[in-house]
């Protein structure tokens, strides 16, 4: 059970709900440490574009600093989006949406929680028909969503159904270059839910409670999380890398492969552009495969701008602090027998 805030009950939902509009940002952030939310599940199972097991672990253990202003900004943006998408969905489906931004915890599994965009019903006093999840998507098309709801959103939807006991989630999606609102329904899948519950349970037991970080991976979120965990260094302090000789070689090989791949990509581009010349479209077997328009790019010479208008630097310049991994080119010490 969630403590504090105003507890609400809705017909058809298997747990009480807390309205996040009635608690502070700080309280919400503190509460989120105690359970796994629906948007974090895909990160734990390795299916999220934005999160990784390591980054979720950092949030749950409280070892990384949360940017409260950024978090609050995301909350405000989400609420404003809901004011536009929710009535649009209601008009399209002839259904009502209530309970925006409520927190729900599973009745038995208290590490399973969800912050809900909304609950869908015919009337507020009738049982809830399902959940509404509102999204914007600038990468995928409506046709791609018709074929398959993205995996990370499926994880989110299944987890929400697990927590609430409901049987379906509607995704209302605003696309970057398509005006109509896309509406896609996801049905409850107990096999998927069992898999997620098991993976999250192991993560919580082995990593969060034990204080042991998950294995690292190549996700950008992992690199960002490690940088957030140790943002500063102690000058002249040494860390023993014994046992990571193969990892060092893997890094060197990967960097060389990346360089060669970029060179091969540029060579292929040059060959194609030479053949295309002043044509707009490249055709293969009668089918268009490349379009080659002229693009114009405008850049701002910030160095000159700040030199001519120094007062703008303090107003608009943003300083970022981060650590980098730089190889030391001097000869490494070797053991001589």
Residue 335: per-residue pLDDT: 56
Distance of CA 273 to the CA centre of its chain: 36
Give the separation between CA 222 and CA 225, rounded to whole angstroms. Answer: 5
Looking at per-residue pLDDT, the higher value among 82 and 308 belongs to 308
User: Helix, strand, coil % (nearest 5) of the chain?
Assistant: 45, 15, 40
Residue-wise pLDDT tens digits, 88-121? 999 999 999 987 778 888 989 989 999 899 999 9
Percent over 90 (pLDDT), the chain: 59
pLDDT value at residue 74: 65
pLDDT at 52 over 80: yes
Host H or E run for residue 182: strand 178-187
Does pLDDT of 33 surpass 70? yes
pLDDT at 171 over 80: yes
Give the mean pLDDT of the chain. 87
pLDDT, position 67: 64
Hey, is 87 helix, strand or coil? helix
**Cα distances (Å, whole numbers) of residue 89 to 55, 118, 133:** 33, 11, 10
Across the beta sheet with 178-187, what order do the strands follow?
A: 96-98, 118-121, 130-137, 168-175, 178-187
Residues in Cβ contact with 312 at an 8 Å cutoff, skipping those fewer than 6 apart: 305, 306
| Mean pLDDT calculated for residue range 169-192 | 92
pLDDT-derived band at 1 (thresholds 50, 70, 90) equals very low
Question: Is-contact 134 82, C-beta < 8 A?
Answer: yes
Select, from the ranges 47-56, 82-91, 114-123, 139-148, the one with the highest average predicted confidence (pLDDT). 47-56
- Residue 176 is predicted with a pLDDT of 76
Q: Is the pLDDT of residue 42 over 80?
A: yes
- Distance from C-alpha of 197 to C-alpha of 165, rounded to nearest angstrom: 14
The highest-confidence range among 17-26, 110-119, 301-310, by mean pLDDT, is: 110-119
Distance, CA of 127 to CA of 70 (rounded, Å): 36
In angstroms, how far is CA 48 from the centroid of its own chain?
6
Contact indicator for 45, 196 with CB cutoff of 8 Å:
yes
User: Would you tell me the crossing angle of helices 25-32 and 68-93 to the nearest 10 degrees?
Assistant: 90
Tens digit of pLDDT for each residue in 206-238? 999 999 999 999 999 999 999 989 989 999 999
Residue 211: what pLDDT?
A: 94
- More confident call, 6 vs 222: 222
pLDDT value of position 314:
81
- In percent, how much of the chain has pLDDT > 70? 88
Q: Which pLDDT value is given to residue 82?
A: 77
Supply the pLDDT for residue 3.
46
Q: What's the chain's length in residues?
A: 337
CA distances from 203 to 25, 225, 227, 239, 282 (A): 26, 17, 21, 28, 50
> Is the pLDDT reported for residue 72 higher than 70?
no
Q: Taking a C-beta distance cutoff of 8 angstroms, is the pair 134, 172 a contact?
A: yes
Cα–Cα distance measured from residue 158 to residue 154, given in angstroms and rounded to the nearest whole number: 6
**What whole-number distance in Å separates Cα of residue 297 and Cα of residue 228?**
34
**H/E run at residue 301:** none
Does the pLDDT value for residue 332 go beyond 60?
no
Domains of the chain: 7-220 (3.90.320.10)
Q: Which of 180, 183, 182 is nearest to 168 (CA)?
A: 183
Going by pLDDT thresholds of 50, 70 and 90, the confidence category of residue 2 is very low
In this structure, what DSSP letter does residue 21 have?
G
Query: CA–CA separation, 119 vs 102, rounded Å?
Result: 9
More confident residue, 60 or 176: 60
Q: Quick one: angle between helices 53-61 and 190-203, nearest 10? A: 60
């Amino acid at each position: 059970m969630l403590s504090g805030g105003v507890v609400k009950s809705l017909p058809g939902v298997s747990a009480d709900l807390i309205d996040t509009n009635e608690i502070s940002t700080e309280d919400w952030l503190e509460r989120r440490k105690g359970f796994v939310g629906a948007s974090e599940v895909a990160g734990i199972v390795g299916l999220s574009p934005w999160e990784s097991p390591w980054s979720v672990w950092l949030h749950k253990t409280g070892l990384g600093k949360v940017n409260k202003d950024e978090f609050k900004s995301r909350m405000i943006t989400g609420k404003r989006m809901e004011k536009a998408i929710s009535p649009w969905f209601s008009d399209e489906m002839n259904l009502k949406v209530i309970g925006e931004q409520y927190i729900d915890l599973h009745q038995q599994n208290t590490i399973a929680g969800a912050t809900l965009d909304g609950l869908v019903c015919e009337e507020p006093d009738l049982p809830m028909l399902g959940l509404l999840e509102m999204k914007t998507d600038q990468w995928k098309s409506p046709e791609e969503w018709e074929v398959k709801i993205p995996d990370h959103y499926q994880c989110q939807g299944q987890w929400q159904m697990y927590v609430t006991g409901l049987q379906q989630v509607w995704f209302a999606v605003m696309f970057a270059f398509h005006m109509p609102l896309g509406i896609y329904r996801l049905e409850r899948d107990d096999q998927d839910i069992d898999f997620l519950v098991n993976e999250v349970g192991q993560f919580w037991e082995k990593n969060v409670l034990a204080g042991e970080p998950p294995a690292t991976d190549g996700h950008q979120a992992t690199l960002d999380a490690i940088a957030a965990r140790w943002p500063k260094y102690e000058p002249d302090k040494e860390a023993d890398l014994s046992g990571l000789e193969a990892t060092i070689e893997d890094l060197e090989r990967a960097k060389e492969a990346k360089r060669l791949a970029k060179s091969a990509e540029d060579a292929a581009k040059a060959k194609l552009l030479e053949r295309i010349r002043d044509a707009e479209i490249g055709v293969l077997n009668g089918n268009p495969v490349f379009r080659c328009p002229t693009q114009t790019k405008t850049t701002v010479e910030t160095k000159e701008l700040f030199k001519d208008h120094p007062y703008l630097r303090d107003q608009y310049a943003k300083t970022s602090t981060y650590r980098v991994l730089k190889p030391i080119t001097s000869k490494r010490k070797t053991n001589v027998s």
